[in-house]
Chain A
Amino acid sequence: MINKVKASLSEKVLLIFLILLIVVTFGSYFLLKDKCLFVKNVDPNKISFTNTENIAIMNVECGNVIIELDPITSPNSVQRFKTLIKNGSYDGSTFYRVIKNTLIQAGDIEYGNINDLNYTKIGTGKSGLGLLKSELSDEFQFKKGSIAFARKDDFDTEDSQFFITLKDIPIYQGEYTPLGKVIYGMDALEKIKSGNKSSYVLRPDYINYLKLLD
Protein backbone atom coordinates (compact mmCIF):
# COMPACT_ATOMS: atom_id res chain seq x y z
CA MET A 1 0.00 0.00 0.00
CA ILE A 2 1.32 3.39 -0.97
CA ASN A 3 0.80 6.19 1.47
CA LYS A 4 -0.02 9.55 -0.06
CA VAL A 5 2.65 12.03 1.06
CA LYS A 6 1.45 15.55 1.55
CA ALA A 7 3.84 18.32 0.55
CA SER A 8 5.00 20.46 3.41
CA LEU A 9 4.72 24.25 3.29
CA SER A 10 8.43 24.69 2.58
CA GLU A 11 8.24 22.19 -0.27
CA LYS A 12 5.34 24.14 -1.77
CA VAL A 13 7.29 27.39 -1.50
CA LEU A 14 10.27 25.74 -3.14
CA LEU A 15 8.11 24.46 -5.97
CA ILE A 16 6.61 27.90 -6.58
CA PHE A 17 10.09 29.40 -6.50
CA LEU A 18 11.33 26.89 -9.07
CA ILE A 19 8.38 27.57 -11.36
CA LEU A 20 8.99 31.32 -11.06
CA LEU A 21 12.67 30.82 -11.78
CA ILE A 22 11.89 28.86 -14.95
CA VAL A 23 9.41 31.49 -16.11
CA VAL A 24 11.84 34.36 -15.42
CA THR A 25 14.73 32.52 -17.08
CA PHE A 26 12.87 31.80 -20.29
CA GLY A 27 11.22 35.22 -20.25
CA SER A 28 14.57 36.95 -19.83
CA TYR A 29 16.11 34.88 -22.58
CA PHE A 30 13.60 36.08 -25.13
CA LEU A 31 13.40 39.64 -23.80
CA LEU A 32 17.11 40.28 -23.29
CA LYS A 33 18.05 38.69 -26.58
CA ASP A 34 16.94 41.97 -28.07
CA LYS A 35 19.94 44.13 -27.10
CA CYS A 36 18.14 47.25 -28.23
CA LEU A 37 15.15 46.66 -25.97
CA PHE A 38 15.81 49.54 -23.62
CA VAL A 39 17.38 51.89 -26.17
CA LYS A 40 15.26 54.88 -27.03
CA ASN A 41 15.38 55.61 -30.74
CA VAL A 42 15.86 59.28 -31.58
CA ASP A 43 13.74 60.80 -34.32
CA PRO A 44 15.68 63.69 -35.90
CA ASN A 45 12.43 65.09 -37.32
CA LYS A 46 11.28 65.81 -33.79
CA ILE A 47 14.36 67.82 -32.91
CA SER A 48 14.99 71.39 -33.96
CA PHE A 49 18.60 72.06 -34.88
CA THR A 50 20.15 75.49 -35.13
CA ASN A 51 22.99 74.50 -37.45
CA THR A 52 21.44 71.99 -39.82
CA GLU A 53 24.30 71.85 -42.35
CA ASN A 54 26.55 70.37 -39.69
CA ILE A 55 24.19 67.69 -38.45
CA ALA A 56 24.72 64.07 -39.51
CA ILE A 57 22.48 61.11 -38.76
CA MET A 58 24.03 57.72 -38.30
CA ASN A 59 21.68 54.78 -38.22
CA VAL A 60 22.89 51.67 -36.40
CA GLU A 61 21.15 48.51 -35.21
CA CYS A 62 19.74 50.13 -32.08
CA GLY A 63 18.59 53.35 -33.69
CA ASN A 64 19.70 56.80 -34.72
CA VAL A 65 22.77 58.65 -33.55
CA ILE A 66 22.82 62.41 -34.13
CA ILE A 67 26.22 63.95 -34.70
CA GLU A 68 27.06 67.64 -34.66
CA LEU A 69 30.11 68.31 -36.83
CA ASP A 70 32.69 70.92 -35.88
CA PRO A 71 34.07 72.56 -39.03
CA ILE A 72 35.52 75.47 -37.07
CA THR A 73 37.99 73.22 -35.26
CA SER A 74 38.82 70.96 -38.23
CA PRO A 75 37.60 72.50 -41.49
CA ASN A 76 39.38 70.20 -43.96
CA SER A 77 38.67 67.04 -42.04
CA VAL A 78 34.98 67.84 -41.60
CA GLN A 79 34.82 68.63 -45.31
CA ARG A 80 36.31 65.20 -46.07
CA PHE A 81 33.88 63.54 -43.67
CA LYS A 82 30.95 65.26 -45.35
CA THR A 83 32.19 64.23 -48.80
CA LEU A 84 32.39 60.60 -47.75
CA ILE A 85 28.93 60.81 -46.18
CA LYS A 86 27.46 62.30 -49.37
CA ASN A 87 29.12 59.55 -51.42
CA GLY A 88 27.49 56.94 -49.19
CA SER A 89 30.95 55.59 -48.39
CA TYR A 90 30.12 54.93 -44.75
CA ASP A 91 26.92 53.00 -45.43
CA GLY A 92 27.63 49.42 -44.35
CA SER A 93 30.89 50.39 -42.68
CA THR A 94 31.60 48.06 -39.78
CA PHE A 95 32.63 48.89 -36.25
CA TYR A 96 35.54 46.53 -36.55
CA ARG A 97 37.53 47.92 -33.64
CA VAL A 98 35.64 48.23 -30.38
CA ILE A 99 37.22 48.68 -26.97
CA LYS A 100 34.40 47.99 -24.57
CA ASN A 101 33.15 51.07 -22.74
CA THR A 102 35.99 53.07 -24.28
CA LEU A 103 35.67 53.62 -28.01
CA ILE A 104 34.27 52.28 -31.26
CA GLN A 105 35.96 52.66 -34.63
CA ALA A 106 34.59 52.40 -38.16
CA GLY A 107 35.17 53.92 -41.58
CA ASP A 108 37.49 51.49 -43.36
CA ILE A 109 35.87 51.98 -46.73
CA GLU A 110 38.11 49.59 -48.63
CA TYR A 111 38.17 46.52 -46.38
CA GLY A 112 35.61 47.19 -43.66
CA ASN A 113 32.26 47.19 -45.43
CA ILE A 114 29.82 44.56 -44.21
CA ASN A 115 29.14 43.46 -47.79
CA ASP A 116 32.80 42.90 -48.58
CA LEU A 117 34.58 42.37 -45.29
CA ASN A 118 38.27 41.48 -45.47
CA TYR A 119 39.40 40.35 -42.02
CA THR A 120 43.03 40.04 -43.06
CA LYS A 121 43.31 43.65 -44.16
CA ILE A 122 40.67 45.39 -42.09
CA GLY A 123 41.90 48.67 -40.64
CA THR A 124 44.36 49.31 -43.46
CA GLY A 125 41.92 50.41 -46.14
CA LYS A 126 41.94 53.75 -47.92
CA SER A 127 39.22 56.04 -49.22
CA GLY A 128 41.03 56.87 -52.44
CA LEU A 129 40.86 60.58 -51.62
CA GLY A 130 44.36 60.76 -50.17
CA LEU A 131 45.70 61.50 -46.71
CA LEU A 132 44.81 64.60 -44.74
CA LYS A 133 46.93 66.81 -42.54
CA SER A 134 46.07 66.45 -38.87
CA GLU A 135 43.98 69.30 -37.52
CA LEU A 136 44.77 69.18 -33.84
CA SER A 137 43.16 71.31 -31.20
CA ASP A 138 44.27 72.06 -27.68
CA GLU A 139 40.75 73.28 -26.97
CA PHE A 140 38.59 70.36 -28.12
CA GLN A 141 38.00 68.10 -25.14
CA PHE A 142 37.57 64.39 -25.71
CA LYS A 143 34.46 63.92 -23.64
CA LYS A 144 32.14 60.94 -23.98
CA GLY A 145 30.63 61.04 -27.47
CA SER A 146 33.52 62.81 -29.17
CA ILE A 147 34.07 61.82 -32.76
CA ALA A 148 37.50 62.11 -34.38
CA PHE A 149 39.48 60.85 -37.33
CA ALA A 150 41.68 57.86 -36.57
CA ARG A 151 45.25 57.90 -37.85
CA LYS A 152 48.32 55.72 -38.07
CA ASP A 153 51.14 56.20 -35.56
CA ASP A 154 52.23 59.31 -37.44
CA PHE A 155 50.30 62.52 -37.75
CA ASP A 156 48.98 63.67 -41.13
CA THR A 157 47.77 60.16 -41.97
CA GLU A 158 44.04 60.74 -41.52
CA ASP A 159 41.83 59.44 -44.31
CA SER A 160 38.35 58.05 -43.65
CA GLN A 161 38.45 55.97 -40.49
CA PHE A 162 36.96 57.55 -37.40
CA PHE A 163 36.25 56.68 -33.81
CA ILE A 164 33.70 57.71 -31.22
CA THR A 165 34.58 57.77 -27.53
CA LEU A 166 32.27 55.98 -25.11
CA LYS A 167 33.77 57.78 -22.12
CA ASP A 168 35.91 60.83 -21.40
CA ILE A 169 39.46 60.26 -22.68
CA PRO A 170 41.29 63.49 -21.81
CA ILE A 171 44.65 62.16 -22.95
CA TYR A 172 43.43 62.21 -26.55
CA GLN A 173 43.16 66.00 -26.48
CA GLY A 174 45.56 67.44 -29.02
CA GLU A 175 46.36 63.99 -30.40
CA TYR A 176 43.52 63.29 -32.80
CA THR A 177 41.64 65.43 -35.32
CA PRO A 178 38.18 66.15 -33.89
CA LEU A 179 35.18 65.93 -36.20
CA GLY A 180 32.43 66.76 -33.75
CA LYS A 181 30.34 65.17 -31.05
CA VAL A 182 27.34 62.94 -30.59
CA ILE A 183 24.43 65.02 -29.34
CA TYR A 184 21.78 62.26 -29.23
CA GLY A 185 21.84 58.47 -29.32
CA MET A 186 24.86 57.50 -27.22
CA ASP A 187 22.94 54.55 -25.81
CA ALA A 188 22.62 53.10 -29.32
CA LEU A 189 26.40 53.28 -29.69
CA GLU A 190 26.97 51.67 -26.32
CA LYS A 191 25.20 48.57 -27.65
CA ILE A 192 27.68 48.13 -30.50
CA LYS A 193 29.20 44.66 -30.34
CA SER A 194 32.64 44.55 -28.79
CA GLY A 195 35.33 41.99 -29.49
CA ASN A 196 37.61 40.00 -27.31
CA LYS A 197 41.35 40.54 -27.32
CA SER A 198 41.76 40.17 -31.08
CA SER A 199 42.54 43.29 -33.09
CA TYR A 200 39.13 43.31 -34.72
CA VAL A 201 35.56 42.26 -33.94
CA LEU A 202 34.32 39.10 -35.62
CA ARG A 203 30.93 39.53 -37.31
CA PRO A 204 30.87 43.20 -36.30
CA ASP A 205 27.96 45.60 -36.06
CA TYR A 206 27.83 48.19 -38.78
CA ILE A 207 26.42 51.55 -39.88
CA ASN A 208 23.17 51.04 -41.78
CA TYR A 209 23.50 54.51 -43.23
CA LEU A 210 25.15 57.81 -42.47
CA LYS A 211 23.65 60.91 -44.01
CA LEU A 212 23.64 64.66 -43.59
CA LEU A 213 20.46 66.26 -42.31
CA ASP A 214 20.43 68.88 -45.09
Chain B
Amino acid sequence: MRILLILISIAFITAVKADEIYNLIKIPNLDIYKIETKNKIRYLNTNNDFRIGLEKNITCARTNSTNLNNKFLLIEKNLNIYSSNFLKKNNIKYLVMCENLFISNINTGGIPDTKKKTLIIDINFNPKYFERMIHHEIFHMIQNSNFKYFDEEKWSLLNKKEFKYAECSTCSDRLNLDLYKKTEGFLTEYSKSIPSEDMAEVFSFLMTDKALVEDKSNDDMILKNKINFIKSSLSKIDASFKF
Protein backbone atom coordinates (compact mmCIF):
# COMPACT_ATOMS: atom_id res chain seq x y z
CA MET B 1 0.00 0.00 0.00
CA ARG B 2 2.76 2.41 0.98
CA ILE B 3 4.60 1.66 -2.27
CA LEU B 4 1.40 2.31 -4.21
CA LEU B 5 0.98 5.69 -2.48
CA ILE B 6 4.60 6.62 -3.24
CA LEU B 7 4.13 5.66 -6.89
CA ILE B 8 0.95 7.72 -7.11
CA SER B 9 2.75 10.68 -5.48
CA ILE B 10 5.65 10.45 -7.94
CA ALA B 11 3.24 10.34 -10.88
CA PHE B 12 1.45 13.39 -9.56
CA ILE B 13 4.61 15.41 -8.93
CA THR B 14 5.94 14.60 -12.38
CA ALA B 15 2.71 15.64 -14.04
CA VAL B 16 2.70 18.99 -12.29
CA LYS B 17 6.31 19.73 -13.21
CA ALA B 18 5.65 18.75 -16.79
CA ASP B 19 2.71 21.09 -16.87
CA GLU B 20 4.77 24.12 -15.90
CA ILE B 21 7.48 23.48 -18.47
CA TYR B 22 5.03 22.32 -21.13
CA ASN B 23 3.25 25.67 -20.79
CA LEU B 24 6.42 27.36 -21.90
CA ILE B 25 7.98 25.24 -24.62
CA LYS B 26 5.32 22.69 -25.53
CA ILE B 27 7.47 19.66 -24.90
CA PRO B 28 6.07 17.16 -22.40
CA ASN B 29 7.87 15.01 -19.83
CA LEU B 30 10.61 17.44 -18.91
CA ASP B 31 12.22 18.21 -15.57
CA ILE B 32 14.48 21.03 -14.59
CA TYR B 33 18.08 19.80 -14.61
CA LYS B 34 19.83 23.10 -13.94
CA ILE B 35 18.56 26.65 -14.29
CA GLU B 36 20.87 28.67 -12.10
CA THR B 37 23.57 29.25 -14.69
CA LYS B 38 25.91 32.16 -15.33
CA ASN B 39 24.72 32.68 -18.91
CA LYS B 40 21.07 32.10 -17.94
CA ILE B 41 20.60 29.04 -20.12
CA ARG B 42 18.12 26.57 -18.66
CA TYR B 43 18.92 22.89 -18.91
CA LEU B 44 15.98 20.51 -19.00
CA ASN B 45 16.01 16.76 -18.68
CA THR B 46 13.62 14.26 -20.26
CA ASN B 47 11.95 12.05 -17.66
CA ASN B 48 9.91 10.10 -20.17
CA ASP B 49 9.86 9.55 -23.92
CA PHE B 50 8.17 12.30 -25.89
CA ARG B 51 6.71 12.74 -29.34
CA ILE B 52 6.14 16.25 -30.66
CA GLY B 53 5.68 18.18 -33.89
CA LEU B 54 2.69 18.85 -36.08
CA GLU B 55 2.66 15.28 -37.29
CA LYS B 56 4.26 13.93 -34.12
CA ASN B 57 7.31 13.22 -36.23
CA ILE B 58 9.89 14.23 -33.64
CA THR B 59 10.66 11.60 -31.04
CA CYS B 60 13.15 11.36 -28.24
CA ALA B 61 13.65 9.06 -25.29
CA ARG B 62 14.15 9.61 -21.60
CA THR B 63 17.67 10.03 -20.32
CA ASN B 64 19.68 7.63 -18.25
CA SER B 65 20.93 9.62 -15.27
CA THR B 66 24.54 8.39 -15.39
CA ASN B 67 24.75 9.07 -19.11
CA LEU B 68 23.16 12.47 -18.64
CA ASN B 69 25.45 13.51 -15.81
CA ASN B 70 28.49 12.63 -17.92
CA LYS B 71 27.28 14.34 -21.08
CA PHE B 72 26.07 17.39 -19.21
CA LEU B 73 29.63 18.30 -18.27
CA LEU B 74 30.50 18.49 -21.97
CA ILE B 75 27.31 20.33 -22.88
CA GLU B 76 27.73 22.94 -20.16
CA LYS B 77 31.41 23.42 -20.95
CA ASN B 78 30.53 24.24 -24.55
CA LEU B 79 27.52 26.40 -23.76
CA ASN B 80 29.53 28.40 -21.25
CA ILE B 81 31.53 29.84 -24.15
CA TYR B 82 28.53 32.00 -25.01
CA SER B 83 27.54 35.04 -22.97
CA SER B 84 23.99 35.50 -21.71
CA ASN B 85 23.67 38.56 -23.91
CA PHE B 86 24.67 36.61 -27.02
CA LEU B 87 22.32 33.75 -26.19
CA LYS B 88 19.46 36.16 -25.58
CA LYS B 89 20.02 37.91 -28.92
CA ASN B 90 19.84 34.56 -30.64
CA ASN B 91 16.80 33.22 -28.80
CA ILE B 92 18.64 30.44 -27.03
CA LYS B 93 17.21 29.90 -23.58
CA TYR B 94 16.21 26.25 -23.06
CA LEU B 95 18.36 23.26 -23.76
CA VAL B 96 16.46 19.98 -23.68
CA MET B 97 18.58 16.87 -23.21
CA CYS B 98 17.21 13.52 -24.36
CA GLU B 99 18.38 10.27 -25.93
CA ASN B 100 18.03 9.06 -29.51
CA LEU B 101 16.46 12.05 -31.17
CA PHE B 102 14.67 11.33 -34.44
CA ILE B 103 12.86 13.54 -36.90
CA SER B 104 10.74 11.65 -39.42
CA ASN B 105 12.66 8.49 -38.50
CA ILE B 106 16.03 10.12 -39.27
CA ASN B 107 18.45 10.30 -36.36
CA THR B 108 19.65 13.83 -35.71
CA GLY B 109 21.97 15.51 -33.22
CA GLY B 110 19.76 18.45 -32.43
CA ILE B 111 16.59 20.29 -33.31
CA PRO B 112 16.46 24.06 -32.91
CA ASP B 113 13.18 25.87 -32.25
CA THR B 114 13.85 29.58 -32.26
CA LYS B 115 10.25 30.52 -31.58
CA LYS B 116 10.28 28.57 -28.34
CA LYS B 117 13.92 29.54 -27.70
CA THR B 118 14.65 25.85 -27.34
CA LEU B 119 17.36 23.54 -28.57
CA ILE B 120 16.82 19.80 -28.24
CA ILE B 121 20.06 17.82 -28.05
CA ASP B 122 20.56 14.07 -28.43
CA ILE B 123 23.06 13.15 -25.73
CA ASN B 124 23.70 9.85 -27.50
CA PHE B 125 24.97 11.53 -30.64
CA ASN B 126 28.27 10.16 -31.94
CA PRO B 127 30.85 11.15 -29.28
CA LYS B 128 33.41 11.89 -31.99
CA TYR B 129 31.34 14.87 -33.16
CA PHE B 130 29.28 15.54 -30.06
CA GLU B 131 30.82 18.84 -28.94
CA ARG B 132 31.01 20.23 -32.45
CA MET B 133 27.41 19.19 -33.05
CA ILE B 134 26.32 21.41 -30.14
CA HIS B 135 27.84 24.48 -31.82
CA HIS B 136 26.50 23.38 -35.19
CA GLU B 137 22.96 23.36 -33.80
CA ILE B 138 23.52 26.64 -31.99
CA PHE B 139 24.46 28.15 -35.31
CA HIS B 140 21.08 27.13 -36.73
CA MET B 141 19.44 29.09 -33.92
CA ILE B 142 21.70 32.06 -34.63
CA GLN B 143 20.83 31.93 -38.32
CA ASN B 144 17.10 31.47 -37.68
CA SER B 145 17.17 34.53 -35.45
CA ASN B 146 19.16 36.65 -37.92
CA PHE B 147 18.33 35.61 -41.47
CA LYS B 148 19.28 38.99 -42.86
CA TYR B 149 22.93 38.45 -41.89
CA PHE B 150 23.14 34.92 -43.25
CA ASP B 151 21.80 35.27 -46.77
CA GLU B 152 22.06 31.84 -48.37
CA GLU B 153 22.20 33.18 -51.94
CA LYS B 154 25.17 35.38 -51.09
CA TRP B 155 26.79 32.44 -49.37
CA SER B 156 26.26 30.17 -52.37
CA LEU B 157 28.03 32.68 -54.59
CA LEU B 158 31.20 32.04 -52.60
CA ASN B 159 31.41 28.55 -54.14
CA LYS B 160 32.69 27.62 -57.59
CA LYS B 161 30.09 28.32 -60.27
CA GLU B 162 29.64 24.66 -61.16
CA PHE B 163 28.86 23.59 -57.59
CA LYS B 164 25.25 22.96 -56.56
CA TYR B 165 23.91 22.20 -53.12
CA ALA B 166 21.25 19.51 -52.63
CA GLU B 167 17.56 20.34 -52.30
CA CYS B 168 17.55 19.61 -48.59
CA SER B 169 19.95 18.42 -45.89
CA THR B 170 18.49 14.92 -45.76
CA CYS B 171 17.82 14.42 -49.45
CA SER B 172 21.45 13.86 -50.31
CA ASP B 173 23.95 11.23 -49.25
CA ARG B 174 26.41 13.94 -48.23
CA LEU B 175 26.29 13.14 -44.53
CA ASN B 176 29.87 12.48 -43.41
CA LEU B 177 31.04 14.84 -40.66
CA ASP B 178 34.79 14.15 -40.87
CA LEU B 179 37.04 17.05 -41.76
CA TYR B 180 38.37 16.85 -45.32
CA LYS B 181 42.12 16.66 -45.70
CA LYS B 182 41.83 18.81 -48.80
CA THR B 183 38.97 21.19 -48.20
CA GLU B 184 38.31 22.90 -51.56
CA GLY B 185 35.76 25.25 -50.07
CA PHE B 186 34.05 22.68 -47.87
CA LEU B 187 35.10 21.38 -44.49
CA THR B 188 33.08 18.16 -44.53
CA GLU B 189 30.92 16.17 -46.87
CA TYR B 190 27.88 17.39 -44.92
CA SER B 191 28.90 20.97 -45.75
CA LYS B 192 27.94 20.21 -49.34
CA SER B 193 24.33 19.38 -48.47
CA ILE B 194 22.71 22.85 -48.19
CA PRO B 195 24.00 26.40 -47.48
CA SER B 196 22.79 26.55 -43.89
CA GLU B 197 24.54 23.27 -43.05
CA ASP B 198 27.67 24.55 -44.75
CA MET B 199 27.56 27.71 -42.64
CA ALA B 200 26.89 25.66 -39.49
CA GLU B 201 29.88 23.43 -40.23
CA VAL B 202 32.19 26.44 -40.66
CA PHE B 203 30.85 27.98 -37.46
CA SER B 204 31.15 24.77 -35.45
CA PHE B 205 34.75 24.17 -36.55
CA LEU B 206 35.63 27.78 -35.70
CA MET B 207 34.18 27.19 -32.23
CA THR B 208 35.97 23.91 -31.62
CA ASP B 209 39.19 24.05 -33.64
CA LYS B 210 39.71 27.57 -34.90
CA ALA B 211 43.46 27.26 -35.47
CA LEU B 212 43.13 24.18 -37.65
CA VAL B 213 40.37 25.64 -39.82
CA GLU B 214 42.16 28.96 -40.26
CA ASP B 215 45.29 27.09 -41.16
CA LYS B 216 43.39 25.16 -43.85
CA SER B 217 41.90 28.37 -45.16
CA ASN B 218 45.37 29.73 -45.94
CA ASP B 219 45.40 27.45 -49.00
CA ASP B 220 41.68 27.69 -49.72
CA MET B 221 40.33 31.08 -50.74
CA ILE B 222 36.69 29.90 -50.82
CA LEU B 223 36.96 28.63 -47.27
CA LYS B 224 38.70 31.84 -46.21
CA ASN B 225 35.83 33.88 -47.65
CA LYS B 226 33.30 31.69 -45.88
CA ILE B 227 35.11 32.14 -42.57
CA ASN B 228 35.16 35.90 -43.10
CA PHE B 229 31.45 35.84 -43.99
CA ILE B 230 30.59 34.05 -40.74
CA LYS B 231 32.84 36.31 -38.63
CA SER B 232 31.50 39.45 -40.25
CA SER B 233 27.87 38.40 -39.82
CA LEU B 234 28.38 37.47 -36.19
CA SER B 235 30.05 40.79 -35.43
CA LYS B 236 26.89 42.52 -36.69
CA ILE B 237 24.84 40.55 -34.19
CA ASP B 238 27.23 41.02 -31.29
CA ALA B 239 30.36 43.12 -31.70
CA SER B 240 31.89 41.56 -28.61
CA PHE B 241 31.59 37.99 -29.92
CA LYS B 242 34.95 36.31 -30.46
CA PHE B 243 35.84 32.82 -31.64
Q: Which residues of A contact B (CB under 8 A)?
A: 99-102, 138, 153, 169-172, 174-175
CA distance A153 to B26 in the complex (A): 9
A-B contact pairs, 24 of them (CB 8 A): A99-B16, A99-B19, A99-B20, A100-B16, A101-B16, A102-B16, A102-B19, A102-B20, A138-B40, A153-B26, A169-B20, A170-B32, A170-B35, A171-B20, A171-B21, A171-B24, A171-B32, A171-B35, A171-B42, A172-B20, A172-B24, A174-B40, A174-B93, A175-B24
Which B9-57 residues have C-beta < 8 A from chain A? 16, 19-21, 24, 26, 32, 35, 40, 42
CA distance A9 to B137 in the complex (A): 78
Closest 4 CB pairs of A and B: A102-B16, A169-B20, A99-B19, A175-B24
Chain B residues whose CB sits within 8 angstroms of the CB of A170 once the complex forms: 32, 35
Chain A residues whose CB sits within 8 angstroms of the CB of B32 once the complex forms: 170-171
Closest chain B CB from A178 CB (angstroms): 15
**Is chain A's binding surface mostly helix, strand, loop or mixed?**
loop
Residue of B nearest to A163 (CB): B23
Taking A169-B20, A172-B24, A174-B93 as given, write out 20 further A-B residue pairs in contact, using a Cβ cutoff of 8 Å, ordered by the A residue number: A99-B16, A99-B19, A100-B16, A101-B16, A102-B16, A102-B19, A102-B20, A138-B40, A153-B26, A170-B32, A170-B35, A171-B20, A171-B21, A171-B24, A171-B32, A171-B35, A171-B42, A172-B20, A174-B40, A175-B24
Closest chain B CB from A194 CB (angstroms): 11
Residue of B nearest to A169 (CB): B20
Residue of B nearest to A103 (CB): B20
Most B CB within 10 A of own CB, among A100, A101, A171, A174: A171
Chain A residues whose CB sits within 8 angstroms of the CB of B20 once the complex forms: 99, 102, 169, 171-172
Chain B residues whose CB sits within 8 angstroms of the CB of A172 once the complex forms: 20, 24
Chain B residues whose CB sits within 8 angstroms of the CB of A174 once the complex forms: 40, 93
Chain A residues whose CB sits within 8 angstroms of the CB of B93 once the complex forms: 174
Closest chain A CB from B86 CB (angstroms): 15
Chain B residues whose CB sits within 8 angstroms of the CB of A99 once the complex forms: 16, 19-20
CA distance A7 to B136 in the complex (A): 84
Most A CB within 10 A of own CB, among B20, B32, B35, B42: B20
Closest chain A CB from B11 CB (angstroms): 12
Closest chain B CB from A81 CB (angstroms): 21
Chain B residues whose CB sits within 8 angstroms of the CB of A101 once the complex forms: 16
Q: CB-defined interface of B142-171 with A at 8 Å, one 1/0 digit per residue?
A: 000000000000000000000000000000
Closest chain B CB from A158 CB (angstroms): 15
Chain B residues whose CB sits within 8 angstroms of the CB of A169 once the complex forms: 20
Residue of A nearest to B116 (CB): A153
Chain A residues whose CB sits within 8 angstroms of the CB of B35 once the complex forms: 170-171
